[in-house]
Structure formats: C-alpha cells, structure tokens
Amino acid sequence: MTLSPTPRSTIKRGKNRAVTEREALHAVLDAGMVCHLAVVVDGAPLVVPTGYGRHEDTLYLHGSTGARSLREAATGVPVCVAITLVDGVVYARSVFDHSMNYRSAIVHGTALTVTDPDEKSLGLQVLTENIAPGSWDYARPPSVKELAATSVLKLDLAEASVKIRSGPPGDEDEDVLAGERWAGVLPLHTYWGTPEPDPTLVGDWDVPEHVSGRK
C-alpha cells in the first residue's frame, strides 16, 4: 500500500529523498519517541513536542503535555505532526553541500479526541509502549480518575509523507576532482545509559528486564 499524497503532502524539493511506501512511514513513526505537533492558535502557528504511539494507520497523541495546543487540536482543527530522526552529519567538501542524514515523517490531518473508553485505553497503551515498552503490563494501570484526567487524540495517517536522506555527500564534480578536502559522514547514534533507580525505592531491587534490557 502506498501513501496517498495530496498537494500539501507532496514533497516538492529533494524528490529523490521522498519515500512513498507505507512501510517506510510506519518504520519512521515506530523508531521515534517524540513528535512535534503544530496547530494554529489565533492565526499564528504553535508547535510543541509530545509523546505519541501508532496503532495500524492511526497515530495517538498524548494530552498531558502542551495542553493548550492539544485543547485546540481536540476541537477538530487541522494539525500537522512531524517526527524526525537524525542519523548523522554529512561533511561535504563545500559548505554548501553540507547536510544531515535523517528520516522524517510529516502527517497532515484533523485530530480528534478519543472518547470511546476501549479506544482510549488502546491509545494510552500504544502511547505508553512507544515510550516505555513493557510498562503497560508492568506498571499500575490508570485509575478511573487518571483516565478522566488524560486526553488522547487520534490522527489518521492517510495524508503523510516520508523523507529520508542517507549516504555520502553530494559534492560538485569540481570539488571531488580537486581532491583538496576530506568528505564523509559522521554517524549519530543513541544508546540507553545505566538505569537510575528512584531514590524512594525501599530495599533491594533488580531493574526489571523491560528497562535493563531495552534496545
């Protein structure tokens, strides 16, 4: 299945970097933890970082951070969501051809508040599992009061685009032939550090496997 681009989700620049497969969209979304959610407030743009999770072709967004933008979004106004993963810095021979390697997804649509209890629970589950895999089963489930205090938004993935840059720099032939400067890519990686137990834990605890073994 391919994406269904509309004029605003059709990439106009760097077309060779556009990827139209739905699997690629899912892969970018599933690799990220934080999205940037943009809404229009009083005619001006507002963008905030927030957590998200994906279930099939629906993106669920968290309502506990950036509450103002989410209140706007929940009224059924247009939103735009970007997820960006930086994979490295591209050192070209010329300043002009410097770049970054990255994977990026942009989703356009109308965000709706999830009201159905079962779907709200599903949305919270995929949100939680995207940020902290294993926590949905391990941690204390939300109480009725906590559920009521949490807002979950849903956004259909129908209108989306993916852009990926990878590989070496694209220097001009003259710069390559001149042979005067090094060029290449410096990859950027992330890793999980040593778990830091909560100081309020009492007694001896083994760090649970879903935390200590996180890849």
Window 83-102: residues binding a second copy (CB under 8 A): 84, 86, 88-89, 91-96, 98, 100, 102
How near is the Cβ of 55 to a second copy at its closest, in Å? Answer: 16
Residue with tokens 């100081």: 199
Instruction: Return the number of the residue (1 or 169) whose C-beta is nearest a second copy.
Output: 169
Give which of 47, 50, 18 is closest to 33, Cα–Cα.
50
Give which of 128, 133, 110, 1 is closest to 58, Cα–Cα.
110
Could you say which DSSP state residue 201 is in? -
Which of positions 114-143 make contact with a second copy (CB under 8 A)?
124, 128, 131-132, 135-136, 138-143
Instruction: Return the number of the residue (23 or 49) whose C-beta is nearest a second copy.
Output: 49
For a second copy, the binding residue among 18, 27, 46, 158 (CB under 8 A) is 46
How near is the Cβ of 152 to a second copy at its closest, in Å? Answer: 12
Which of positions 1-30 make contact with a second copy (CB under 8 A)?
8, 12-14
> 130: part of which helix (H) or strand (E)?
helix 117-131
For a second copy, the binding residue among 15, 44, 56, 117 (CB under 8 A) is 44
What are the backbone angles phi and psi of residue 51, rounded to the nearest 5°? -80, 160
How near is the Cβ of 56 to a second copy at its closest, in Å? Answer: 21
Q: Which stretch binds a second copy (CB under 8 A): 20-28, 53-61, 112-120, 201-209?
A: 201-209
Dihedral sign from CA coordinates of 121, 31, 24, 72: positive
How near is the Cβ of 147 to a second copy at its closest, in Å? Answer: 8
Which of positions 156-175 make contact with a second copy (CB under 8 A)?
168-169, 171, 175
Give which of 100, 99, 91, 101 is closest to 181, Cα–Cα.
91
Q: Which stretch binds a second copy (CB under 8 A): 18-26, 53-61, 66-74, 112-120?
A: 66-74
Buried b (16+ CB within 10 A) or exposed e, 17-38: ebbeebebbbbbbeebeebebb
For a second copy, the binding residue among 2, 16, 75, 188 (CB under 8 A) is 188
d(CA 95, CA 85): 22
